[in-house]
């Protein structure tokens, strides 16, 4: 099977270009070539396509290789450039290498072309792996700092709560003693009752601090998460009011979670109350449950997660959303975005403590103006089925040679998906946002068999991109990705229009995080139809 290769060819001679393509093909590559002769064409090609390498003549009538190298360096692209020229001479070759070329070949002797290309592809992959490792290390360090900070805050909060409880014992104890000695009409009875109430409220706050610091005594038992959600649904509807719509979407769960039922109900309650407060003018709250598999790739980016089967509890709102600064402090005790006097700042820290003490993991997906999804993963305990479900669910994908346009504003996620698809034979075009993807899609010569797009993108959304590209490419299949659950996106109308009529028949949705097998299986199903 030929290896896909995306080559930007800076060459004015059609004959020489054809010879290069023949050599690459005979060397085991399937080259996708775009030939440019001017600086303007070069800029456009670099903007709308992700190339594997550049082959450039040293000197052409309208463009010099030194200008090519300077432009690539200016744009910060890690793109290997091999000079293929009719100009000989050691000084020319040295000048090319000093300008940033990776190799210098003569057109009348192309025996080194294929080995040079293979070498550059290997070295480029090595640089990408090193960059991924550096990014992963920075993320791990940031998570470690965040974890250490939360642990330190937890110890401080637990110590404060313990000492404060000792003081409250005196306050409430003496208040009760004084009330027992006062008659029903004594003028001091009212003030002392207020002292007693304040002590009780303070005791409630210290209880929440103890929960955050994971010092609360729990009574864990095996629970069906769907039953817990159903049991709290009626109370939640009364709590959120008539201007907030509550939707529950129970999944077909294969296992139980081990948790304290009262504390788990408290988690749901706090998340729904938080969602309600984020929608002062009304909106929708969606509670979903599902079986999920968190693989090694996800665990490598989340320190406290072990790969394996989990039960997901997701609570999504259509509120104002949060920026990155707010998300970073979300679970800290007493941190709140509400007005003074409108909240204690302990609701989400209580959720955090209960989830962690139950062996779970919590993650927040939110962007300003797009609401928020709180995703909680509890370790799944199989119902009388000790077999590792991951080995049952894994289905080998066939792979393929189709062309896929991948759009995701998360650089690391986009690189991971792109490399995974390329490793399975697909030709992948990548873009950081909807506008860039639209330019690539319109300018690409040949079919685009599948559009893989995040639903929420800078500029043009995934839905808008699918609609616009779909007019010119009616056979293109669609795969939407999002950290928001599909039902929550549907409630907000994010997928509306992009999955109606014939589009619905050739589209699918995959929620982040997903495993390698889940992605390949979904792509296989779409392209195999």
Each residue of 61-78: pLDDT tens digit? 888 888 888 888 888 888
What is the percent of the chain where pLDDT is above 90?
A: 10
pLDDT digits (tens, 9 = 90+) for 74-133: 888 888 999 888 877 778 888 888 888 888 888 888 888 999 989 988 888 887 777 766
Q: Give the pLDDT confidence score for residue 395 in this predicted structure.
A: 46
Quick check: 437 pLDDT over 80? Answer: yes
Under the banding of pLDDT at 50, 70 and 90, the label for residue 289 is very high
Q: Give the pLDDT confidence score for residue 139 in this predicted structure.
A: 60
Q: Which helix (H) or strand (E) holds 33?
A: strand 29-36
Under the banding of pLDDT at 50, 70 and 90, the label for residue 499 is very low
- For residues 516 and 417, the model is more confident at 417
Under the banding of pLDDT at 50, 70 and 90, the label for residue 404 is very high
State the average pLDDT for the chain: 79
Structure tokens at 233: 């649904």
Two domains, one topology: 3-111 and 394-528: yes
Cβ pair 510, 481 in contact under 8 A: yes
- CATH class of segment(s) 145-212: mainly alpha
Quick check: 494 pLDDT over 70? Answer: no
Q: Region 262-267: what's the mean pLDDT?
A: 83
Under the banding of pLDDT at 50, 70 and 90, the label for residue 340 is low
Quick check: 529 pLDDT over 70? Answer: no
pLDDT digits (tens, 9 = 90+) for 151-203: 665 555 555 655 666 667 677 777 888 888 888 888 888 888 888 888 777 76
Rounded Cα distance, 373 and 73, in Å: 40
Angle, CA of 41, 94 and 91, to the nearest 5°:
105
The residue extents of the domains of the chain are 3-111, 145-212, 221-389, 394-528
Closest CA to 425 of 515, 524, 529, 522: 524
Under the banding of pLDDT at 50, 70 and 90, the label for residue 491 is low
Q: Give the pLDDT confidence score for residue 345 in this predicted structure.
A: 59
Quick check: 313 pLDDT over 90? Answer: yes
Chosen CATH of 221-389 out of 3.30.565.10, 3.40.190.10, 3.40.50.300, 3.90.190.10: 3.30.565.10
SS3 state at 438: helix
Whether pTM > 0.75 for this model: the answer is: no
Encode 426-465: b = buried (16+ Cβ within 10 Å), e = exposed: bbbbbbbbbbbbbebbeebeeebbbbbbbbbbeebbbbbb
Report CA 23 to chain centroid distance, whole Å.
41
Chosen CATH of 3-111 out of 3.40.50.11540, 1.20.1250.20, 3.30.160.20, 3.40.50.2300: 3.40.50.2300
pLDDT digits (tens, 9 = 90+) for 439-450: 898 888 889 999
Q: Give the pLDDT confidence score for residue 432 in this predicted structure.
A: 87
Quick check: 390 pLDDT over 50? Answer: no
Output helix, strand, coil percentages for the chain, rounded to the nearest 5: 50, 20, 30
pLDDT digits (tens, 9 = 90+) for 26-61: 889 988 889 998 988 988 888 877 788 999 888 888
pLDDT digits (tens, 9 = 90+) for 205-263: 665 555 544 445 567 889 999 999 998 888 888 878 788 889 999 988 888 998 888 78
Under the banding of pLDDT at 50, 70 and 90, the label for residue 392 is very low
Burial-class residue 301 by CB neighbours within 10 Å (0-12, 13-18, 19+): middle
pLDDT digits (tens, 9 = 90+) for 507-517: 888 877 676 77
Q: Which helix (H) or strand (E) holds 345?
A: none
CATH-assigned architecture of domain 394-528: 3-Layer(aba) Sandwich (3.40)
Sign of the CA dihedral running 137, 143, 149, 155 = negative
Rounded Cα distance, 238 and 229, in Å: 15
pLDDT digits (tens, 9 = 90+) for 421-434: 888 888 999 988 88
Which of 126-130, 146-150, 483-487 shows the lowest mean pLDDT across its residues? 146-150
Quick check: 391 pLDDT over 50? Answer: no
Q: Give the pLDDT confidence score for residue 383 in this predicted structure.
A: 65
Rounded Cα distance, 466 and 317, in Å: 25
Q: Which helix (H) or strand (E) holds 290?
A: strand 283-294
Structure tokens at 504: 């619905």
Quick check: 270 pLDDT over 80? Answer: yes
Q: Give the pLDDT confidence score for residue 429 in this predicted structure.
A: 92
């Amino acid at each position: 099977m030929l290896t896909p290769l995306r080559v930007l060819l800076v060459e004015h001679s059609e004959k020489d270009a054809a010879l290069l393509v023949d050599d690459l093909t005979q060397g085991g590559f399937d080259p996708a070539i775009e030939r440019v002769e001017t600086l303007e064409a070069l800029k456009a090609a670099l903007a709308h396509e992700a190339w594997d390498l550049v082959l450039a003549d040293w000197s052409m009538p309208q463009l010099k290789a030194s200008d090519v190298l300077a432009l690539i360096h200016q744009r910060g692209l890690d793109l290997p450039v091999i000079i293929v020229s009719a100009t000989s001479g050691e000084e020319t070759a040295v000048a090319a290498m000093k300008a940033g070329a990776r190799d210098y070949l003569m057109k009348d002797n192309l025996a080194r072309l294929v080995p040079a290309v293979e070498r550059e592809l290997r070295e480029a992959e090595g640089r990408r792996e090193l960059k991924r490792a550096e990014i992963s290390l920075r993320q791990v360090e940031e998570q470690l700092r965040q974890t250490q900070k939360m642990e330190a805050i937890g110890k401080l909060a637990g110590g404060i709560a313990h000492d404060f409880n000792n003081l409250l014992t005196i306050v409430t104890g003496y208040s009760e003693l004084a009330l027992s000695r006062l008659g029903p009409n004594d003028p001091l009875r009212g003030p002392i009752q207020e002292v007693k109430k304040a002590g009780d409220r303070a005791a409630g706050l210290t209880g929440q601090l103890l929960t955050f610091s994971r010092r609360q005594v729990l009574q864990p038992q095996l629970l069906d998460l769907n039953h817990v959600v159903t049991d709290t649904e009626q109370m939640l509807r009364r709590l959120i009011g008539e201007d907030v719509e509550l939707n529950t979407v129970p999944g077909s769960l294969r296992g139980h979670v081990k948790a304290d039922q009262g504390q788990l109900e408290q988690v749901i309650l706090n998340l729904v109350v938080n969602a309600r407060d984020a929608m002062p003018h009304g909106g929708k709250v969606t509670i979903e449950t599902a079986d999920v598999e968190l693989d090694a790739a996800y665990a490598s980016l989340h320190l406290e997660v072990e790969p394996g089967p989990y039960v997901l509890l997701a609570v999504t709102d259509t509120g104002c959303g949060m920026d990155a600064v707010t998300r970073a402090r979300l679970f800290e005790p007493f941190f709140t975005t509400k007005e003074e006097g409108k909240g204690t700042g302990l609701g989400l820290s209580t959720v955090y403590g209960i989830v962690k003490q139950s062996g779970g993991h919590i993650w927040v997906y939110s962007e300003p103006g797009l609401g928020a999804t709180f995703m909680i993963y509890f370790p799944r305990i199989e119902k009388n089925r000790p077999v590792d479900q991951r080995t049952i669910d894994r289905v080998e994908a066939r792979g393929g040679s189709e062309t896929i346009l991948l759009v995701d504003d998360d650089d690391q996620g986009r690189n991971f998906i792109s490399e995974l698809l390329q490793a399975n034979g697909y030709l992948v075009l990548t873009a950081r946002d909807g506008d860039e993807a639209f330019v690539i899609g319109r300018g690409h010569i040949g079919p685009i068999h599948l559009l893989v797009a995040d639903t929420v993108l800078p500029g043009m959304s995934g839905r808008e991109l699918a609609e616009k590209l779909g007019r010119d490419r009616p056979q293109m299949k669609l795969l939407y990705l999002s950290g928001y659950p599909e039902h929550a996106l549907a409630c907000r109308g994010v997928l509306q229009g992009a999955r109606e009529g014939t589009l619905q028949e050739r589209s699918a949705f995959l929620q982040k995080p997903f495993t390698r097998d889940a992605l390949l299986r979904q792509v296989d199903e779409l392209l195999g139809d």
